[in-house]
Amino acid sequence: MIIALIVIAIIVILVIVMYNGLVRQRNLVDEAESQIDVQLQRRADLLPNLLETVKGYATHEKETLAKVTEMRTQISDPNASIADKVKADNQLTDTLNHLFAVSENYPDLKANQNFLSLQEELTNTENKISFSRQNYNANVMELNNKLQSFPSNLVAKLGNFKQREFLQIPDKAREVPQMKF
């Protein structure tokens, strides 16, 4: 009887440890997702200053500036899913790359200290966004591994834990850029 109670106690302890590990990992995924939101919002907060700086120099680039504003709004939407925000973020990155390429046509803009500072801040933010995405995917992988591995998959079913999706890069980002001289 004592041996049966010890075995039951060990099983209960193992279930509790596995459940708490799943909860901890799910929370890490949620926290990593919120870090992506934080970095996207940080970039969105920098954009109005960048747009105002560029407007003074590149008045006929209104379409590019309008696209940046539209993508910023989509990223800042609190009701948008992380996948929708990442999609808008990818489009925004493309538009910002175009904007920085266009800045080459405006020597005064390229020399503007405010523009250079904002460009550097955006570059730093892009790096932070990239790291946040990597961190999210690493945490999703760990959670999904636990959800698929025995015996934690049994505990996951009891606790109604769900697998999460990895953030994917768009096919366009996989293309090798064309260098023309």
| pLDDT tens-digit readout, 142-157 | 999 999 999 999 999 9
Is residue 95 within 8 Å of 102, Cβ to Cβ?
no
For the residues 149-167, what does the mean pLDDT come to? 91
Task: Give backbone dihedrals phi and psi of 56, rounded to 5 degrees, phi first.
Answer: -65, -25
pTM tops 0.75, yes or no:
no
- Residue with the bigger pLDDT between 114 and 28: it is 28
Neighbours of 159 (CB within 10 A): 15
Q: What is residue 179's predicted lDDT score, i.e. its pLDDT?
A: 38
Q: What is the pLDDT of residues 2-40, one digit of tens each?
A: 999 999 999 999 999 999 999 999 999 999 998 988 888
